[in-house]
Chain A
Amino acid sequence: MKLLKLVRDDTNIDFLKWRVWAFAISLLLMAASIGLVATKGLNFGVDFIGGQMIRATFTQSATAPVTELRETVGSLGYGDPTIQRFGAENQVSIRMKLPEGADKNPELANAMAEKITSSLKVGHPDVRIDGVDSVSGKVSEELFSKGILALLAAMAGISIYIWFRFEWQFGVGAIWSLVHDVTLTFGLFALTGWEFDLNIIAALLTIIGYSLNDTVVIYDRIRENLMKFRKMEMASLLNLSVNETLSRTVMTSVSISLPLIVLVLFGPDVIFGFSMAMAFGIVVGTYSSIYQAAPILIWFKVGSHSFVPTDEVTGSKAERIDADFGAQP
């Protein structure tokens, strides 16, 4: 049986040739992301800014009457609602700030939810309330700081691990590519205005895990090649390592993307942002492993000398006599 090859055996792409360009573009995109987050801001969900979110489906209508809802809910005297479609055309989420004093007296929040839902039911008997989320300012602040803390701790923890398993330059490369991935994802959310809630923090952490996964595989190969080809120039060695692992990179990216694409297309609407963030993160993470994590090693002057082979390593390498030794570029 003839097997499918996603990457041809003799593939030898000079990835590192574009490293300066790639780095410049990445820096630009990161700056743009930071700018977008600073100016346009993220569309925080109630998880992070507190407030109330009511999800409703108009079961008998093709589309939800968003403009009309904005007026009805706005006229209740609780301020202007943020109304968004999510998923199907007839589903909306209505977000409100919690009324003044609701932190002390939850009755006020209850009363608001009740007023809003009953005002929906007046004009639309087909409305189905799918959920109510009500988060006080105190809890949302906690969720926010905890989320940020989780992100920072994960990035730091993982980088320290890489530092111990490899060398400090690799740790820096890893953390840089993570910062890169996370920043761009923030940028994506600022640009699109998708709701940024707790789920997105989970997605970001997963992206960090995946991006690292990719980086580790390439780093592992770089380390191996560094010990094998002592004299090879660093750029060629990186190219060799990236090309050798390319088949795996493509295969894994495709296999992880498959379920994510399915999740984006058919998955529950509630986690649309989550799935999108992950799908985006896979692409960015794969790119950053090749174009951020690897070239940094050149700039940090990593070479064979970085790995003074210990007895343990030579012990496992002693049996390796490669037929194609030196046949590489």
Chain B
Amino acid sequence: MLDFPRWRIWMLNIVLIVGIAFAIPSLLPSQMRAQLAQFVPTSTINLGLDLAGGSHILLEADTSQLSEARLEALEDSVRNAMRRANPQIAIADVSRSQGQLSFNVTDISKVDAAREVILPLISNSLGARDWNLGVNIGNRIILSPASSGDETALDQAMDTAKDVIDRRINALGTLEPTIIRQGQNRIVVQVPGLDDPEALKALIGKTAKLEFKLVDEQADPDQTAQGKARVGSQVLPYPDNPTGLPNIAVRRLGGISGDKLVKADPTFDSQTNEPAVTIQFDSEGGQRFARMTQQNVNKLFAIVLDGQVISAPQIREPIFGGVSQISGSFTTESANALSISLRSGALPVDLTIVEERSVGPDLGADSIRRGVLAAVIGTTAILVLMFLVYGRFGMYANVALVINVLMILGVMSFANATLTLPGIAGFVLTIGAAVDANVLINERIREELKRGRRVVQAIEVGYKEASRAIFDANSTNVIAAVLLFIFGSGPIRGFAVVLMIGIVTSVFTAVTITRMWVSLWVKRTRPTELTI
């Protein structure tokens, strides 16, 4: 037990040195870190938002809206495909309800042809079906979502949403956001060191779906006021409507969507001198926009953003070249935010902020200062106590403890783990628990000496007998820490991480390393008496 071959001593020392080496960069101020030699590890511990200050925002996607959007897209593509089929296939009674799309093929003999047309539309690139196709009462075709289709669609939408958010935050400047998907339909956005989260929230929460629709000028204003629309039209809210109505009727068809933009910039309206946004379509979008304006000169068209009309100007002349200007009641800030949102693309799903935590940088700094102070005082007190109670063996435990602290920092730096405020508390607790192992060992050695064993034997038995309790105690703590990690969230996870790392390193330093030192001491001095 006390026999340490040379190779083991070497190995243990190497582990110690590497562990400590990784801790060094985190302890140095950032200017000094930059000057370190190449071979020195440079990864450091991340500070959690509760320490660094910043915002944590949890966004959740509205999945029902996503299925609705998919259904709409499916209807569009089916209608188009039927129109383009050769010969054209007439369909009627199209309905979208309960997540299904169903329609009648007017000529019953063309059902099979319709089927052939639809099949490529509902299979994805991997050959699997996104939609199930069924035929009812002879000529009614029903398309219902396949479960995998919904999942894949959500998955893709969330990935896109993540990218879009990333682009939007990057447009704000030199922030270092962490954007991760969580679960099926959530995205976590963490931005450290942000003073004003309002601008950020306004930016990432906005879907920014831009549409241009023709205004239904034949609509009965009374009906529109009540929110009722004619067949083929829909009523949308229009807060700045010059007629004083809160909404406006627009045609469902014949509009174009604004997702084909290459540019969007804040500007000022040349006539009113009010903030506005200029947009530029890509060539395809530009052609469509030109066609739409050409066919509808002198009519009103509504600019719709996220289902709300922001303005409804008259088309005075066809607009070629794909450049247009959106004016509404913008402020400079909102025009800027809108152009960022439009430039980065629309979110494929609506995202709602379901959790938000922001910590001011002052509070964070105060927490670090006092947390570290508590850790230092606490550790010092333990060191003094251990020395007073166990003498030489207490000193071994103390050096092991200091190394343990450095190793926890080292492992955390290496893993790029995040230190949170509860993490500091976990640190303090680990320190307390780490000495427990040494206390168990030293107490056992004391006992064995009291029972009349000789020094070397007492040490040997002490380490061996204490190891069992140390193992069991640490195992139960690992169970607690793992469950904390699994079920916990945010800062609690940070706590669990420190706890887990601390358990492993503390057993290593408090048991293995001190045993090595003790055995070297025993070999060197062959003690016959021991004060412990």
State the A residues within 8 Å of B (CB). Answer: 1, 3-6, 9, 55, 57, 103-106, 109-110, 114, 128-136, 138-139, 143, 146-147, 149-150, 153-154, 157-158, 161-162, 165, 198-199, 201-202, 205-206, 208-210, 212-213, 216-217, 220-221, 224, 244-245, 247-248, 251-252, 254-260, 262-263, 266-268, 270-271, 274-275, 278, 322-324
Contacts and interface: CB of A to CB of B under 8 A. Distances in A.
Given A133-B357, A139-B355, A323-B452, A106 B205 contact: yes
B172 to A, nearest CB: 17
Contacts of B473: 212-213, 216-217
A5 B357 CA distance: 48
B479 A158 contact: yes
Given A150-B487, A260-B428, A324-B451, 18 more contacts: A5-B389, A109-B356, A132-B197, A134-B356, A135-B357, A136-B353, A139-B58, A146-B488, A154-B480, A213-B477, A216-B476, A220-B472, A221-B469, A252-B432, A255-B432, A267-B374, A271-B425, A275-B425
B428 A259 contact: yes
Interface string B359-372: 11011001100110
B447 interface: yes
B381 interface: yes
8 contacts: A131-B357, A210-B429, A220-B472, A252-B439, A259-B379, A262-B377, A271-B425, A278-B429
B353 to A, nearest CB: 4
B92 interface: no
**SS class of chain B's interface: helix, strand, loop or mixed?**
helix
Which of A57, A158, A206 has the most B CB atoms < 10 Å from its CB? A206
B382 interface: yes
Contacts of B201: 106, 110
Given A130-B362, A247-B443, A322-B451, A157 B479 contact: yes
Given A259-B428, A262-B381, A270-B50, A252 B476 contact: no
Contacts, number: 235
A12 B390 CA distance: 22
B14 interface: no
B184 to A, nearest CB: 13
B480 A205 contact: yes
B6 interface: no
B483 A255 contact: no
**SS class of chain A's interface: helix, strand, loop or mixed?**
helix
Which of B60, B382, B422 has the most A CB atoms < 10 Å from its CB? B422
Contacts of A251: 385, 389, 439, 443
B405 to A, nearest CB: 12
Contacts of A257: 432
B485 to A, nearest CB: 9
A149 B421 CA distance: 23
B515 to A, nearest CB: 18
Given A208-B480, A252-B439, A267-B370, A3 B390 contact: yes
Which of B359, B452, B492 has the most A CB atoms < 10 Å from its CB? B492
B480 A248 contact: no
Interface string B333-365: 000000000000000000011111111101100
A240 to B, nearest CB: 12
